[in-house]
Amino acid sequence: MLKPIKNNNEYEAALERAYDLMQVDLVPESKESDELEVLSILIKEYENEHFPISKPHPIEAIKFRLDQMGISESELSKILGARSRKSEILSGKRKLSLRMIRKLNDKLKIPAEVLIREY
């Protein structure tokens, strides 16, 4: 019977069981596939509470997304409005404006909550 994960031993056991279930060719809507789905939710909740991952620095998020999408820094200048502005933003000399945050969110799909963080 599935139950909430309350400590590290239960977490490790849940990970092992999830791994075992993933090694089998599960039939959709079967008891085992439902078990894996519920285990995944329980594991995720435990990890979010006990192993939180902080949001990235806004500038690092921009650089990572540019690299991920294969976009050059010169194309970033077009998004931000001017080449000098792009340089000032990436060097940390200038903060992102609300207009820039909206454009970066729209064009690069970077979550606004990442871009509005203090830095």
* Largest pairwise CA distance in the chain: 60
- pLDDT tens digits, residue range 5-36? 999 999 999 999 999 999 999 999 999 999 99
Domains of the chain: 8-50 (no CATH), 58-115 (1.10.260.40)
If you search the block for the tokens 């690299």, which residue do you land on?
Answer: 67
pLDDT tens across 74-116, in order? 899 988 888 788 999 999 899 999 999 999 999 999 999 999 9
Q: In which element (H, E) is residue 33 found?
A: helix 31-50
SS3 (DSSP) at 115: helix
pLDDT in the model for residue 82: 80
| pTM confidence score | 0.64
